[in-house]
Amino acid sequence: MPKAEKGKPKRACPLEKQLAFDNKPWYDKKAQRDADSDDDMAEDVVPEKLSRRTLALAKQQQAEEQARHAKSQPQPVQTQDSDESEAESEDEDMDDEYDGQDLVRINGEYVEEVEICEDDEEALANFMMGAPERRNLADIIMDKIFEKEARERGEVDDEAPQNSKFDPKIVEVYTGVGKILQRYTSGKLPKAFKVIPSLSYWEDILWLTSPEKWSPHAMRAATRLFASNLNPKMAQRFFNIFLLEHVRQDIHENKRLNFHLYMALKKALYKPQAFFKGIIIPLCESRNCTLREAAIIGSVLSKVSVPVIHSAATLMKLSSMEYSGGNSMFIRVLLNKKYSLPTRVISELSQHFLRFTSDTRKLPVLWHQSLLVFAQRYKNDIPKQHKEAMKPLLKQHFHHQITPEIRRELYNEM
């Protein structure tokens, strides 16, 4: 058997180099070893020019993918502020939730309700007789102007703050800010506008910007700013006076809601107490809430997680109000969240439905749907006396498709 060939032996380092290396200080030896290791690793590292080209190609491909995706789906406005871009990313993550919802659909730059039954509109008209006429943001502004003129003439005895009469320069600045917000689509908000939430008389300053003329994009950015920087009580005021009226005006004029106003509502819901007290409850108390408004705003409520304490308090309030179509829509949406509600809230909801036992008017399908959802979710928690009291209610108000389902849920009838 032939012998295995021996490899070529490594050549030893010359003796003079070994001696010179031994005579070096310790730190020079360490630097030499590090340099040798760097030389060994240099072969495995990607050259700098090549890495730059790779990153550039990756960014180019990503931009092409985003452009292709933007053609098929509407994208939220991109801003340049760090805090605004962070909030935008939250909105983008939630855009996919629109598909498959039964309340609204996205149509270009607008959000519209899926379907409104004419029979329901006729039935709800019977419950809305005598409702006050709807006031828009322009009406509120005119009231403010008349009030100011009356105060200047001394006809109004009001302890107005001394700084309610602003310096002409302040008026000029915020009038200019208002003109910017009329054509605002994206980018940074004016710095003078960003400081408004920190002012004690922020509402008076805000009127100087003519908020009824803001673009939908500006209202979305303003809602994000005020929802993040105002306490719940002040945020409630902003939502009620500015955001709600802007939303209702847009729905009234276009029969649908601009996508950016829809996202503004979504952002407002991150302050749930202010959202319910500033938007949902005033809308139902007005008694002129249309089905279209209730469907669009209710869809916002269905997409965002809300703490049970705020939802339970709102259900208590809605169930004790005088009936309107919006009540049934919002009650149905909140019940569909499947909360573990307190016994008092469930009892109050039962009483809400039982009040219609002696009502001879035709009830809309929304009312039957909300009762069905209530029976499905909380049939085991409804008191027995309330279940028995609902039997004549179901006889008085019968729906050929929904009422049998309610009876099956409550009484296990096949």
Buried b (16+ CB within 10 A) or exposed e, 220-253: bbbbbbbbeebeeebbbbbbbbbbbbbbbbbbee
Rounded to whole angstroms, the Cα distance separating 239 from 318 reads 19
What 3-state DSSP class applies to 107? Answer: strand
Give residue 291's pLDDT.
87
Give residue 89's pLDDT.
47
Indicate the pTM of the whole model: 0.67
Rounded to whole angstroms, the Cα distance separating 256 from 267 reads 19
Name the one residue in this structure whose structure tokens are 């749907």.
Answer: 369
Rounded to whole angstroms, the Cα distance separating 242 from 220 reads 11
Contact of 406 with 375, CB cutoff 8 Å: yes
Ramachandran class of 412: left when φ > 0, alpha when ψ lies in -120 to 50, beta otherwise? left
Q: Give me the phi and psi of 214, to 5 degrees please.
A: -60, 150
Name the one residue in this structure whose structure tokens are 């006076």.
Answer: 241
30: buried, middle or exposed (CB in 10 Å: 19+, 13-18, 0-12)? exposed
- Can you say how many angstroms the Cα of residue 185 is from the centroid of all Cα atoms in its chain? 19
* H or E stretch at 285: helix 281-285
The CA-atom distances, in angstroms, between 196 and each of 29, 229, 230 are 64, 10, 10
Residue 31: count other Cβ atoms within 10 Å of its Cβ.
12
What 3-state DSSP class applies to 113? Answer: strand
Per-residue pLDDT tens listing for the chain (414 residues): 566 666 666 666 666 666 666 665 554 555 555 555 554 444 444 455 555 666 666 667 777 766 665 655 544 444 444 444 444 444 444 443 333 345 556 666 666 655 556 655 555 555 555 555 555 555 555 565 556 556 555 554 444 443 456 788 999 999 999 999 999 999 999 999 999 999 888 999 999 999 999 999 999 999 999 999 999 999 999 999 999 999 999 999 998 899 999 999 999 999 999 999 999 999 999 888 888 899 999 999 999 999 999 999 999 999 999 888 788 899 999 999 999 999 999 999 999 999 999 888 888 888 999 999 999 999 999 999 999 999 999 999 999 999 999 999 998 854
For 375-404, write each residue's pLDDT tens digit: 999 999 999 999 999 999 999 999 999 999
Task: Name the DSSP class of 80.
Answer: S
